[in-house]
Amino acid sequence: MIQVITPTARNIGALFVNRHCVSSTSLCRGLATLEYNTHDLHDDDSHRNHNTTANQHCAHSLLILGKPGGGKGTISGKILADFPQFRHVSTGDELRQHVRKQTQLGMEAKRFMDEGCLVPDNIMIRMVMGDAVEAIKNGQSLLLDGFPRTMEQAVALDKSLDVDMVINLCIPNETIIERISDRWIHPASGRVYNYSYRPPKVVGKDDETGEPLVQREDDKPENVMKRLQKYEQATAPLVKYYEEKGVIQTFSGTMSDVIYPEVKKWLDNQLAEDAAATV
């Protein structure tokens, strides 16, 4: 259950020091009333810090928007290497983990994922908000990769925390289709290969086990087209939504290695501006 809190301006009340540097209690609105069931996945996540003491932190929430197969994961990986203060929440990875572990959520989500459809908002909101709330309670900054993808998800997110930076990756459809058709996986381990830049040693076989590689159901060309169409309908409107909030920056191109230095420069500037504003 998500408590509905009237959306407010960025500086909600006296708790905000500035728009980014907030106490974790104020960044995460209405925390006490949020109930999410992610225990079936996280029970064994002993590496995570479960200290939930509310502390004063410069917590940031950064989103990464972009077409399916458009390099969100790659750019996120580079961001995390340079900015380790961010905790990565990737909805695609998390959903696949649920599917592998055959949790109830995973079983519900699988049929939508296999068909190249978006998983329903209520499932996604329940899954992501648990992570987001936990990170913020711990005073961590958050990098949300793959969420929100619909206006309903964006509105739900806004009710719980302030999104302060959004990266919009703009990649041509042809590049994406080419890239995805080259992607094959080893289902048992989740190892991912790409015939253009990370080919297996033997065509069609996993390097470690020699077992056959398969194409993810949602990477099959007919499903990729469906996902791109869904993106246009459901996710593209979010660009305007975040433009109106003045928090989004678009990066266009075809190669992550070329796009990323620009992303880093922008992120460095954003974080430096915040740091300056808090002294």
State which residue, 60 or 72, has the beta carbon closest to ligand ADP. Answer: 72
**Surface-to-core class of residue 170, CB atoms within 10 Å of its CB (0-12 exposed, 13-18 middle, 19+ buried):** middle
* Gyration radius of the chain's alpha carbons: 19
Ligand-binding site membership of 183 (annotated) = yes
CA dist., res. 139 & res. 272, Å (int): 19
Ligand-binding site membership of 241 (annotated) = no
Binding window for ligand ADP (CB under 6 A); candidates: 2-10, 116-124, 154-162, 244-252: 116-124
Instruction: Pick out residues in 215-254 that bind ligand ADP (CB under 6 A).
Output: 218, 227
Binding window for ligand ADP (CB under 6 A); candidates: 17-25, 87-95, 256-264, 268-276: 87-95
Nearest to 130 by CA among 89, 77, 80, 85: 89
Out of 78, 110, 205, 216, pick the active-site residue: 216
**Does the protein bind ligand ADP through residue 112 (CB under 6 A)?**
yes
Sign, CA dihedral 169-175-181-183, equals: negative
Would you call 183 a catalytic residue per the annotation?
Answer: yes
CA dist., res. 264 & res. 261, Å (int): 5
Classify 251 as helix, strand or coil: strand
Structural tokens at position 92:
């695609």
State which residue, 119 or 271, has the beta carbon closest to ligand ADP. Answer: 119
Ligand-binding site membership of 147 (annotated) = yes
Q: Which residue is nearest to ligand ADP (CB)?
A: 92
Query: At closest approach, how far in Å is the CB of 224 from ligand ADP?
Result: 8
Out of 126, 137, 159, 227, pick the active-site residue: 227
**Does the protein bind ligand ADP through residue 159 (CB under 6 A)?**
no
CA dist., res. 162 & res. 26, Å (int): 10
**Does the protein bind ligand ADP through residue 92 (CB under 6 A)?**
yes
Binding window for ligand ADP (CB under 6 A); candidates: 3-11, 54-62, 129-137, 146-154: 146-154
Mind giving me the DSSP string for 188-229?
TTTEEEETTTB--SSTTB-TTT-PBPB--GGGSHHHHHHHHH
Would you call 19 a catalytic residue per the annotation?
Answer: no
CA dist., res. 279 & res. 261, Å (int): 27
CA dist., res. 57 & res. 154, Å (int): 24
**Does the protein bind ligand ADP through residue 95 (CB under 6 A)?**
yes
Ligand-binding site membership of 203 (annotated) = no
Nearest to 227 by CA among 261, 189, 180: 180
| Residues tagged active-site | 72, 149, 183, 216, 227
Q: Which residues bind ligand ADP (CB under 6 A)?
A: 68-69, 72, 91-92, 95, 112-113, 117-119, 124, 146-149, 153, 218, 227
> Which parts are annotated binding residues for AMP?
91, 96, 117-119, 146-149, 153, 216, 227
Annotated binding site for GTP: 69-74, 183, 192-193, 256
